[in-house]
Amino acid sequence: MPALPVELARRVVSLVDRRCVYSLLYVSSQFRLIAEEFFYADVSFTQLAKRYLLSHGGRFLRTISVDAVRCSQYVKKLALPAVVFEFEFEEQYYHSTFRRILQCIPRLQHLSVHGSGVSDYMNVSEFAALPVTPFSLKSLFWLSTPNPTVDARFIDAQSSLERLHIPYIYTPLISIHPGSLPNLRVLEAPLETASNILPGRQVTHFKIAASSAYIVQNTDIIPDEAIRHIVVCAVENIRLHALLSLALRMPNLECLEVDTLYIPIGDTLWRGVALKETKLRHIRFSRAAYYNREDIATAFNELPNLSCISVSTNSSAFPDRKFEFEFFFRGTPEPVRLRPLNIESAGQWWQDWEDGFAAVQTLGRS
């Protein structure tokens, strides 16, 4: 049987799940060379129990440093559990293994760290043995608690960074060096941390992270210049006056997501008429709450650029469940229901807005 053309074989591998890709590694030498690139592109250790981390990490390290060095060039995404940063004497083998892994993957673009419950972390700059880290990240997701595992030295060194997600408050607050991160466009961070990162950069997508124990009351700590490029903004646990104050200082704001836990939908839409001078075209309510059609009509009448209001139908008792959104469009009396589309990464929290908006518009034109 003749060999498949490389283009067709790559297409086959790109369409199957990770388990199938693993099986294709053992089909033939041709498929192995192709499947390796896909299999090693996205590596995660977050699903492993702690007792298996060292053995799996060691095997992976041997693969990319001894047995199949070429595979080290394929690793683009890496997800680590926070425990590998735990600073305890008996955990030094973890440090050595995973530090060496980081040193062996020069084309790493996306790094994420997950987990909690570790009381004493090693600082990430020390862990990664800066300044010799060979990669330059495009996205960094530091989704672990508590503090202070990630610091400015490590972030500053990532000159290609486009997306930064540090949703927890660290002490001391992270302060990025002026002039660094020229490509940063997406930021998810608490308000206090964001106030040290936004100035001097052209961030277009901004998500204010807040815990249930902290309600944003004042947004004045962020200067006007720092948020003038914002196009998409999502806010959690914020008072209405603080939300309006923030949005009014975003002249390019087009999409705004509001958590209705502390802001009723009706109040937001009625008082939101103050935003008529903005470019706001889509307001999204991420948690179901009571509203009436008059509120919707008022918003469309008063906000000339507004073309869509979408409201989650999920219960406020289960805020993490994603069910459906009702999309109201200007001039359309009845809403269109749509389930949120799957997105590649939690870091692309705005993507399903755009995809859903486009899908509903397409339905309306058909």
Above 60 in pLDDT, residue 105? Answer: yes
Among 133, 160, 184, where does a domain finish? Answer: 184
Residues 179 and 53 in one domain: yes
257, pLDDT greater than 80? yes
- What average pLDDT does the segment 104-123 reach? 75
Residues 178 and 246 in one domain: no
Structural domains in the chain (count): 3
Say yes or no: 215 and 140 in one domain. Answer: no
Same domain, 35 and 51: no
Write down the pLDDT at residue 272. Answer: 77
Judged on CB neighbours under 10 Å (0-12, 13-18, 19+), 282 is: buried
Within this chain, do residues 176 and 162 fall inside the same structural domain, yes or no? yes
More confident residue, 352 or 45: 45
Residues 201 and 171 in one domain: no
Single residue among 118, 152, 184 that ends a domain in this structure: 184
Percent of the chain residues topping a pLDDT of 70 = 77
User: Which residue range(s) make up the domain with 25?
Assistant: 1-39
Average pLDDT, rounded, for the chain: 80
| Residue 263 and residue 359 in one domain | yes
Residues 199 and 340 in one domain: yes
Mean pLDDT value across residues 113-132: 59
- Same domain for 78 and 206, yes or no, is no
Choose the final residue of a domain: 153, 184, 215: 184
171/117 same-domain check: yes
Q: Give the global pTM.
A: 0.85
Is the same domain home to 23 and 91?
no
Q: How confident is the model at residue 318 (pLDDT cuts 50, 70, 90)?
A: very low
Query: Residue 354 corresponds to which amino acid?
Result: E
